[in-house]
Amino acid sequence: MSESICIFALEKLTFLFLCSMKTLKALLVSLVFMMPHSLLAEVNIIPQPTRVTEKTGSFVLKPNATIAYNSKSLQPAAEYLREKLKPATGYELPIGKGKKADIVLSLTTQTETGAEGYKLTSSEKGILIEAADYRGIIHGIATLRQLLPYQIEKATLQPYVTWMVPAVEIEDTPNFEWRGMMLDPVRHFFTLEETKRFLDIMALYKFSKFHWHLVDSQGWRLEIKKYPLLTDNSGYRDPEGEHWDRRCNEIAKNDNNPRMIVPMTGEFTRMKNGKLEYGGFYTQDEVRDLIEYATVRGIDIVPEFDVPGHSYAATKEYPWLSCNNDGRDPICVGKDTSLEFCRNVYKEIFDLFPYEYVEIGGDEVNRSAWKKCADCQKRIQDQGLKDEAELQSWFTCTMEKYFNENGKKLIGWDEILEGGVSKSATVNWWRGDHTDVVQRSTSGGNEVILCPFTFCYFDYNQDNNTIQKLYTGDIVPTDLSAEQMKLIKGMQGNIWCERIPTEAQMQYMVFPRALALAEKAWTKNTQQNWDGFYSRLQKHIQRLNTMGVEQRPLVE
């Protein structure tokens, strides 16, 4: 046989094979359409709701469907829902006021699901989401998204999907109000769009707090109008001069991992004096935009201006902030001018962020400079303090007064306990090896957010057991009384970004393990079940993939 005849025969065979594949596919598609809808639709919700009653039948979302809401305050929720459903379905669902529609969002005093809770009822006739507050409706929308086929999360039109929702009655209430994630855009920068994408994923899994670590020694990411050098200079840096940038690029090369390359293009760079610099910052207008975005999604933003340590980005620009004007970290708390600086920065933060909680930081302060500083020592004497730990405590309490005068509440990393703290401060327990922190905080009357590095540091390396360890571990210490338990506000995952230079690497480190934290924070302990969670998690891998979220494989 000549070569051309041979190729001809091969092409014909391929053609026949493709034709039969097409027939098979058509057959399968029609079989799927003939199956009862309830056999196809599955209930796989993370975090596991309080009560799920599966019914027979299903609701199918059609192009002529409508959305209604019964209170003006729900209009942003209705628009958010429409926006979420549009790309994959292609439907422009009309929104109206009232209670007659295929999907009804209803604020009501009749529900027993409490703050942030919701009731979702779906049947062939339609979907009703009822809640006592806006956030409950938003969480009901998250559940509705998870009841729909995973393709609903596609950014492009999916014309062959039947948008089926199984008939079900769900009543759901969160266990903890604080279900947080902390992101560090200082060590490496994340654009506003990337941050919005992160908030979007948080909303799907009912996280409620976004702790934004905006300031640290390696950079300053928030526009402060009174001190422009903070962002003009400390917003950018020479990546060759920064240890973590060099380290990331080195790992990228050694592991052949493009997610680890520090991006030196577009929004991550600027030219200064003929040199390309890395970084970025958020203008106050951009922050307002992000706050609105988060608010629609039921998320509070907790800004952090970390003082008096982790402050080199400020002290190098304004050396008078440091002991002996040497431009080093930490801030000198002996000088009134430093206190005035802190108050001025916080004032702009207070005016910008509506949420009542603001984070002071207070972690890992190298207090040795204070020992040798005349101003700091004078402050210790004047205030009758014992040592530098008490000096930090004095600083924290002084700042807290200013917070309170401005209607704000203070949160700090658990070092704020050293040297004493007021009862009204909230403590972020992060030092997992300091196992007495929660006991000490709560017996002193302080509320606690649990984020011990032993479970909740999502920048820490992961192995095949990490998620199970997180899910089954005792993040809530087991030695607390019922009274102390009332002071546990909730849990938080922390994403420090020294070794996370891109959104892709951030997602790879955080997902899917953050879903285990979402369930631990939302679902009652007695309802948590590893096998059940793991089986649901496997379905969510596909959903996250569809959203374009990078993930570490469950088993590697």
By beta-carbon proximity to ligand ACM, the closer residue of 394 and 413 is 413
Contacts of residue 9, defined as CB under 8 A and 6 or more positions apart, other chains included, come to 1
Q: Are strands 103-107 and 409-413 parallel, antiparallel or unpaired?
A: unpaired
By beta-carbon proximity to ligand ACM, the closer residue of 317 and 459 is 459
Extended beta strands in 425-534, E state: 426-429, 448-450, 488-495
Name the β-bridge partners of 272.
275
For the CB of residue 370, give the shortest distance to Zn ion in the complex, in Å.
5
Per-residue x/- track, 337-366, ligand ACM (CB under 6 A): --------------------------xx--
Residue 205 in contact with ligand ACM, rule: CB under 6 A: no
Cα gap 520→505, rounded to integer Å: 24
For the CB of residue 494, give the shortest distance to ligand ACM in the complex, in Å.
7
# of chain residues touching ligand ACM (CB under 6 A)? 4
The DSSP H or E segment spanning 171 is: strand 164-172
- Whether the Cβ atoms of residue 46 and residue 536 lie closer than 8 Å to each other: yes
- 376, interface contact from Zn ion, ligand ACM, none, CB < 5-8 Å by kind: Zn ion
Among 80, 353, 430, 511, binds ligand ACM (CB under 6 A): 430
In 3D space, the residue among 222, 210, 220, 159 whose CA is nearest the CA of residue 183 turns out to be 210
Residue number closest to ligand ACM, CB atom: 363
By beta-carbon proximity to ligand ACM, the closer residue of 289 and 363 is 363
For the CB of residue 182, give the shortest distance to ligand ACM in the complex, in Å.
9
By beta-carbon proximity to ligand ACM, the closer residue of 176 and 430 is 430
For the CB of residue 76, give the shortest distance to Zn ion in the complex, in Å.
47
In 3D space, the residue among 530, 516, 441 whose CA is nearest the CA of residue 181 turns out to be 516
Q: Examine residue 308 and say whether the peptide bond preceding it is cis (omega within 30 degrees of 0).
A: yes
By beta-carbon proximity to ligand ACM, the closer residue of 129 and 182 is 182
Supply the DSSP string of 51-116, one letter for each residue: EEEEEEEEEE--TT--EEESSGGGHHHHHHHHHHHHHHH-----EEESS-SSEEEEE-SS-SS-TT
Residue type, 219: G
For the CB of residue 364, give the shortest distance to ligand ACM in the complex, in Å.
5
* Contact residues: Zn ion, CB under 5 A: 323, 332, 334, 373, 375-376
In 3D space, the residue among 193, 187, 285 whose CA is nearest the CA of residue 237 turns out to be 187
Q: Are strands 178-183 and 488-495 parallel, antiparallel or unpaired?
A: parallel
Cα gap 227→347, rounded to integer Å: 12
By beta-carbon proximity to Zn ion, the closer residue of 335 and 520 is 335
For the CB of residue 430, give the shortest distance to ligand ACM in the complex, in Å.
4
Residue 189 in contact with ligand ACM, rule: CB under 6 A: no
By beta-carbon proximity to Zn ion, the closer residue of 315 and 492 is 315
Per-residue x/- track, 288-317, ligand ACM (CB under 6 A): ------------------------------
- 323, interface contact from ligand ACM, Zn ion, none, CB < 5-8 Å by kind: Zn ion
Residue 413 in contact with ligand ACM, rule: CB under 6 A: yes
Binding site for ligand ACM (CB under 6 A): 363-364, 413, 430
